[in-house]
Amino acid sequence: MSGNDISFREIKENIDSLEDVIGYRFKNRDYVLEALTHSSYSNENKNFRYNERMEFLGDSVLGIVISDYIFKKETSVPEGELTKLRANIVCEESLSRAARKIDLGSHLLLGKGEEITGGRERKSILADAFEALIASIYLDGGMEPASKFILSNLRNIIKDSIDGKMYKDYKTQLQEELQKNGASNIWYRLIEEIGPDHNKTFVMMAGVNEKSLGSGSGKSKKEAEQDAARAALENIFGKSFVEEE
């Protein structure tokens, strides 16, 4: 949903439709409305709160639910492998896939610029909105329905991850490759923001210690960090390494 002319009836119908898909009814719809509102829409409609704070909370709820689940299920897996497994389950690629399964993109409130440039299919927007949706369920109903939503919608991704299927989380790959050589001080720094507030492009640099390894860009800092990690892997190991991964 985009533009400045959305009626309360259309918003209600949009939430009704999403509730049908996810199987949860909100007692306080302000939570889910905030979760569905992208910053680009909020910039055009000042009375709408955008979802970045919800994303922050949803990320934490997601982390504890997945950690608890794999800790109890994979009783013989050591801490390092559990960390890698969790990272694969909660990475942007995984969450955007889960968001597409419930057609979350069609329910988002986007500004005109994001609508035109394909924001409904952008991985970073979908993954962030999925985390925000988790937060909205948690705030509205508590941990039990939030956990049920997470485990239901990530079931296949969790199974694939346990079975060894890894999604392209370039940050995790870069960290693992550098740590093989004893590097530990891996960093990401914002070096530039391009464009207006409602349609920014972020440029991030990845590096280790005092050395810069590669830069990348994206419509969110998370997306830019992934792109920077990909560039770093390519610069260190060659393009074929990244393509094979």
Segment 17-40, tens digit of pLDDT: 999 999 999 999 999 999 999 999
Beta-carbon count within 10 A of 179 CB: 12
CA 102, chain centre distance (Å): 15
Q: Cβ distance 214 to 229 under 8 Å? A: yes
Which entry of 131, 169, 225, 227 is annotated as an active-site residue?
A: 131
Which residues, 6+ apart, have CB-to-CB distance to 99 below 8 Å? 105, 126, 127, 129, 130
Q: Which positions make up the binding site?
A: 55, 128, 131
Q: Which positions make up the binding site for Mg(2+)?
A: 55, 128, 131
Would you kindly state where each structural domain of the chain is located, as residue ranges? 8-162, 170-244
Beta-carbon count within 10 A of 196 CB: 10
Q: Cβ distance 204 to 189 under 8 Å? A: yes
Which residues pair with residue 216 across a beta bridge? 204
The confidence band for 1, taking pLDDT boundaries of 50, 70 and 90, is low
Higher pLDDT pick, 1 / 95: 95
In this predicted structure, what is the pLDDT of residue 105? 95
Higher pLDDT pick, 8 / 5: 8
Side-by-side strand order, sheet with 211-218 = 186-194, 201-208, 211-218
In this predicted structure, what is the pLDDT of residue 32? 97
In this predicted structure, what is the pLDDT of residue 4? 52
Which range of 2-6, 74-78, 168-172 scores highest in mean pLDDT? It is 74-78
Mean pLDDT score, 40-65 = 94
Residue 78, φ and ψ in degrees, nearest 5: -70, 165
In this predicted structure, what is the pLDDT of residue 80? 85
What is the C-alpha to C-alpha distance for residues 126 and 110, in angstroms, rounded to an integer?
A: 12
Segment 186-215, tens digit of pLDDT: 999 999 999 887 778 899 999 999 999 999
Mean pLDDT score, 85-90 = 90
In three-state secondary structure terms, 2 is strand
In this predicted structure, what is the pLDDT of residue 243? 57
What is the C-alpha to C-alpha distance for residues 155 and 152, in angstroms, rounded to an integer?
A: 5
Q: Does the predicted model carry a pTM greater than 0.85?
A: no
Known active-site residue 59? yes
In this predicted structure, what is the pLDDT of residue 212? 95
pLDDT > 50? residue 245:
no
DSSP class per residue in 159-206: HHHHTT-----HHHHHHHHHHHTT---EEEEEEEEES-GGG-EEEEEE
What is the C-alpha to C-alpha distance for residues 92 and 154, in angstroms, rounded to an integer?
A: 13
CATH architecture of 8-162: Orthogonal Bundle (1.10)
Mean pLDDT score, 234-245 = 72
What is the C-alpha to C-alpha distance for residues 129 and 80, in angstroms, rounded to an integer?
A: 28
Which entry of 19, 52, 59, 160 is annotated as an active-site residue?
A: 59
In this predicted structure, what is the pLDDT of residue 166? 66
Examine domains 8-162 and 170-244 and report if their fold is the same: no
CATH architecture of 170-244: 2-Layer Sandwich (3.30)
In this predicted structure, what is the pLDDT of residue 218? 86
